[in-house]
């Protein structure tokens, strides 16, 4: 368990979309003055720690997904999928508007950039 996790652990999923500031503020308020501890489970493709984080007894990952402020990181765990599906069904947080999963967004950007490069005028 880490007593002082890196910022990557807590905000890695918050960097996508217009709701990132709302999610960050919610997380800061949720944590308050409590110490955060994280159990690192893996390192992802971008060298970020994939972890389950707690403030007291509150499981931060689960709460963020339940509030529609983060998504389940399915490549590493199915732990939060049911929470995400419930938030999506109830149009909570990011699910209340058009939202593209981070991996889909990256693929879209890559295709868009590739298409733009191939259609340049001479």
Q: Which pLDDT score is estimated for 38?
A: 92
The torsion defined by the Cα of 25, 28, 32 and 33, in degrees rounded to 10, comes to -140
pLDDT for 47: 87
Q: What is the pLDDT of residue 120?
A: 55
Top-confidence residue, 59 or 1: 59
Closest CA to 73 of 63, 61, 57: 61
Average pLDDT, the chain: 79
For 59-63, which contacts have Cβ atoms below 8 Å and span 24 or more sequence positions? Answer: 60/10, 60/27, 60/30, 60/31, 60/36, 63/30
State the number of CA atoms in the 13 A half-sphere of 59 facing the CB: 10
Q: What is the pTM of this model?
A: 0.72
CA distance 83 to 73: 12
Each residue of 19-77: pLDDT tens digit?
678 888 899 999 999 999 999 999 988 888 889 999 999 999 999 999 999 988 888 88
CATH of domain 7-118: 2.40.50.90
CA atoms of 56 and 54, how far apart (whole Å): 6
Share above pLDDT 70 across residues of the chain, in percent, rounded to a whole number: 73
- Domain locations in the chain? 7-118
């Amino acid at each position: 368990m880490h007593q002082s996790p890196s910022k990557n652990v807590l905000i890695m999923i918050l960097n996508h979309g217009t709701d990132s500031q709302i999610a960050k503020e919610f997380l800061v308020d949720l944590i308050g003055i409590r110490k955060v501890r994280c159990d690192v489970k893996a390192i992802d493709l971008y060298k970020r720690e994939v972890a389950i984080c707690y403030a007291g007894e509150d499981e931060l990952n689960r709460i963020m997904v339940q509030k529609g402020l983060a998504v389940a990181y399915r490549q590493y765990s199915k732990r939060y999928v049911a929470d995400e599906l419930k938030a999506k069904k109830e149009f909570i947080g990011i699910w209340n508007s058009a939202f593209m999963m981070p991996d889909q967004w990256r693929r879209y950007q890559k295709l868009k950039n590739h298409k733009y490069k191939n259609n340049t005028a001479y």
